[in-house]
């Protein structure tokens, strides 16, 4: 008799295989051929994946159209099944997949749009920001310790792109009229994606501020991050740190 593991593996192989992949031989159905009944499960699994991706990547779907999106989502699902019981966590690799997916490669900016949407989704569901710990910050300032490190809050993400994906994202929100003056070739962006209250904000940064925040988030001490040539001038660094700590964008690393 087939073991439970063998049955489940055969079932999953048939779901993720090509349309004509046979279902496990043990399947029986009173009303239809087993293959027909099995097809409902295959459609449902792929349909659920597609729906999950559509929920995270609505702008990508709008840019490529519903049919192409479904085609890409099914191809992605067969290559990259979900690895969580929570389907809300599915699809982080979709941007990289799109970068190599035939038909999507003519839209070179599309993977970065997807990366932005993944960041928006992650920020939306991240832990709520805590108010800044002013007592801790004061004591750190008074101690003059040089090795202090700051990290981005869980509700913040940094994203850089050669294309103005923030503007493209904003123009593709429901009810927003298209701007005829928009050009995808209007230059690179450095973005801070963060939660504001229970909504999401996408804030364009100066390249130097982006470099400073990225260095801090990589674990460099405040002193080392501010000393990097890419970072803003020292007095500007101080202003940025004060603002971002007050906003909760930065927190003292544990």
Partner 1 sequence: MPTVSRFGSPSAIPRRTGIGLRTQHFRSVLGSLPDVGWLEVHSENFFGAGGQPLYYLERIRNHYPISLHGVGLSLGAVGGPDAEHLRRLKVLADRIEPGLISEHLAWSAVGGRHLNELLPLPGTEEALAVVCRAVAKTQEFLGRQILVENISSYLGYDHTTIPEPEFIREVVARTGCGLLLDINNVFVSAHNLGFDPRTYLAAIPHAAVQEIHLAGHSRMGNLLVDTHGTRVADAVWNLYAGAFAHLPPTPTLIEWDNDIPPLAVLVEEAERADSILERCLDQSA
Are 184 and 163 spatial neighbours (Cβ–Cβ below 8 Å)?
yes
Are 24 and 14 spatial neighbours (Cβ–Cβ below 8 Å)?
yes
Q: Does 32 bind partner 1 (CB under 8 A)?
A: yes
Are 148 and 202 spatial neighbours (Cβ–Cβ below 8 Å)?
no
Candidates 83-91, 101-109, 159-167, 224-232 — which segment interacts with partner 1 by CB under 8 A?
83-91
Q: Which of 19, 86, 146, 180 binds partner 1 (CB under 8 A)?
A: 86
Rounded to whole angstroms, the Cα distance separating 130 from 15 reads 44
Are 220 and 122 spatial neighbours (Cβ–Cβ below 8 Å)?
no
4 vs 177, beta carbon nearer partner 1: 4
111 vs 129, beta carbon nearer partner 1: 129
> By rule CB under 8 A, what string of x and - marks binding of each residue 165-184 to partner 1?
--------------------
Are 98 and 125 spatial neighbours (Cβ–Cβ below 8 Å)?
no
CA separation (Å) from 221 to 149, 154, 205? 4, 19, 21
Q: How far is the CB of 4 from partner 1 (least distance, A)?
A: 5
Q: Which spans of this chain sit near partner 1 (rule: CB under 8 A)?
A: 1-5, 7-9, 11-12, 15-16, 23-24, 26-32, 34, 36-38, 40-41, 44-45, 48-49, 52, 81-90, 124-128, 154-155, 195, 198
């Amino acid at each position: 008799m087939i073991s439970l593991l063998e049955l489940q593996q055969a079932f999953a192989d048939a779901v993720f295989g090509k349309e004509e992949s046979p279902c496990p031989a043990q399947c029986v159905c009173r009303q239809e051929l087993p293959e027909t009944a099995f097809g409902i499960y295959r459609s449902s699994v792929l349909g659920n994946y597609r729906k999950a991706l559509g929920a995270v990547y609505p702008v990508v779907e709008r840019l490529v159209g519903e049919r192409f999106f479904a085609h890409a989502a099914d191809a992605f699902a067969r290559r990259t099944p979900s690895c969580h019981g929570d389907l809300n966590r599915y699809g982080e690799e979709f941007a990289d997949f799109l970068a190599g997916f035939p038909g999507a490669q003519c839209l070179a900016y599309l993977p970065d749009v997807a990366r932005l949407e993944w960041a928006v989704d992650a920020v939306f569901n991240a832990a709520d920001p805590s108010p800044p710990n002013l007592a801790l910050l004061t004591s750190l300032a008074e101690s003059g310790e040089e090795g202090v490190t700051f990290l981005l809050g869980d509700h913040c993400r940094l994203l850089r792109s050669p294309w103005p994906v923030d503007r493209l994202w904003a123009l593709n929100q429901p009810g927003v009229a298209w701007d005829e003056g928009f050009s995808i070739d209007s230059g690179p962006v450095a973005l801070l994606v963060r939660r504001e209250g229970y909504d999401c904000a996408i804030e364009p940064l100066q390249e130097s501020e982006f470099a400073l925040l990225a260095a801090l988030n990589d674990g460099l001490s405040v002193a080392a991050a501010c000393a990097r040539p890419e970072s803003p001038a020292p007095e500007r660094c101080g202003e940025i740190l004060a603002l971002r700590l007050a906003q909760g964008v930065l927190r003292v690393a544990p």
